[in-house]
Amino acid sequence: MSSCDLCVVRNRAICASLDAKELEALNAIGRTRTISPGESLIWEGEDSVLVANVIDGVLKLSTNTEDGREQIVGVVYPSDFIGRPFGGTSGHGVTALTESRVCVFSRRDFDAFAREHPSLEHKLLERTLGELDRTRRWMLLLGRKSAAEKLASFLVEMSERLDGAGCSVDFDKPNQRRLVLPFSRQQIADVLGLTIETVSRQFTRLKNDGVIDLPSRREVVILNMDALAAEAG
């Protein structure tokens, strides 16, 4: 496992609250793992046996419906925490969308460490409440927003969450962002509860309106961040 001091998400991850000695102890019970696109780290319905911090890459949280269809229920980014501490079964699978690096811990070892370090438990609670807030916003997006607002909201969130890891800024044009999306158009449609045809139409409309540019199927250049935010409602 690489030194925590060299970790690129050190100041944003849940371990940010730990001192050097505590980090050394946490370091001793973890290991880094590289996950290829399409490879799963956690499986839906199985006992929670590991937890992890995302160092690099993007992973999806998904569940399967009774008829076998996959539903993406969330996305995790660098510095996010995944897994279910303190027991239980996993309510969703976790699969890499891009090549990803994660800092993995045995759930039992992590639970024991967290109980001995209240600052880490506090950070976990903060993350849980933050995730609850994002879930509530996502419910609003899926339930009340139009197709145009859904896609615009999705792109705004991507630009915020991928900052520095798939999102670049031209400092001469601070209102612009270049995104390399970890999703196919079909996956975007699945996430937003839309058809792929609707997603494609909305991308084309945003491009024609001068809000974005589309250099390739996976690249989006946000030409006017303010206009995109306004489109998102």
The answer to whether residues 152 and 119 belong to one domain is: no
Backbone φ and ψ of 228, nearest 5°: -65, -40
The answer to whether residues 108 and 164 belong to one domain is: no
Q: Which of 140, 165, 184 is the last residue of a domain?
A: 140
Number of domains in the chain: 2
The answer to whether residues 156 and 70 belong to one domain is: no
The answer to whether residues 84 and 107 belong to one domain is: yes
For residue 144 the two structure tokens come to 């009340």
Backbone φ and ψ of 181, nearest 5°: -75, 135
The answer to whether residues 132 and 197 belong to one domain is: no
Q: Which of 111, 140, 169 is the last residue of a domain?
A: 140
Domain that holds residue 175: 145-231
The answer to whether residues 129 and 153 belong to one domain is: no
The answer to whether residues 122 and 213 belong to one domain is: no
Encode the chain (233 residues) as per-residue pLDDT tens digits: 446 767 777 777 777 777 888 888 888 888 999 999 999 999 988 888 999 989 988 898 888 878 877 777 888 888 888 888 887 788 889 999 888 999 999 999 988 888 888 887 777 787 777 777 777 776 766 667 888 998 998 898 888 877 655 555 554 566 678 888 888 888 888 888 889 999 999 999 999 999 999 998 888 999 999 999 999 88
Q: What b-and-e string marks burial along 172-200, b requiring 16 or more CB atoms within 10 Å of the CB? A: eeeebbbbbbbbeeebbbbbbebeeebbe
The answer to whether residues 57 and 118 belong to one domain is: yes
d(CA 108, CA 144) in angstroms, rounded, equals 40
The answer to whether residues 149 and 198 belong to one domain is: yes
Q: Which of 117, 140, 163 is the last residue of a domain?
A: 140
